[in-house]
Amino acid sequence: MVKFMALSLFATVLLLTIGVESFPLMNLYGYVHKDFNTHLYTYNASIIGYAVRGRTGLRNYMSEGIICLLDSDNSGKPFHHYENKENWLENLYTTNTSEVIGKNYEHKGIVGYCYPSQEPHTVPLYRYKKKIEMSAGLNDITDHYYTTDPNKIGLVTPGTTGNNGYTYEGVACFVYNVKYHT
């Protein structure tokens, strides 16, 4: 806990230095499931138990470290977290609530606030998807993967598929990019 707070403080000081005015910012932690390679994102690392990259915590999720920083107030748009009602391995994050209308998702909350267009010191948060096959009796799911680093999947052309079978969908929103983990 002290470690998370120290990182947040560091981020705040760093961003103050470069002149960002909306505060405080929150870390968005990324996790990958060790068996299914599906992704989960949260500001609350306690739900898995680790923020340190490479450590595996609850529900067999391994930390991928801090993905980006999000605003904690409503100067941006809410970045909503939805979970597939049939399968908790599928998590969707979007600023567009229309996207889930008529789909089998449960709203799990807001993970932070981000921007529909580029603001000073923000970068695109790229969104990718991949079909994940489940074992017999369970419906296949769609994994949603988010990164500020276009080199991870290797392309940002909508509808094209890159590394690890992920297809680029577009920019989810614009976020603050502070990389502790690369």
Q: Which residues bind ligand NAG (CB under 6 A)?
A: 44, 46-47, 96, 98-99
- Residue with the two structure tokens 């470290």: 65
Minimum distance of ligand NAG from residue 29's CB (angstroms) = 11
Nearest-CA neighbor of 23 among 80, 69, 78? 69
Identify which of residues 25 and 164 has a Cβ nearer to ligand NAG in the complex.
25
Burial class for 76, CB neighbours closer than 10 Å (0-12, 13-18, 19+): buried
Identify which of residues 141 and 172 has a Cβ nearer to ligand NAG in the complex.
172
Minimum distance of ligand NAG from residue 18's CB (angstroms) = 27
Q: What phi, psi does 179 have (nearest 5°)?
A: -100, 110
Identify which of residues 44 and 160 has a Cβ nearer to ligand NAG in the complex.
44
Minimum distance of ligand NAG from residue 145's CB (angstroms) = 18
Identify which of residues 98 and 157 has a Cβ nearer to ligand NAG in the complex.
98
Minimum distance of ligand NAG from residue 135's CB (angstroms) = 28
- Cβ atoms 14, 1 nearer than 8 A: no
Torsion of CA 5, 148, 70, 40, to 10 degrees: -80
Structure tokens at 76: 């941006």
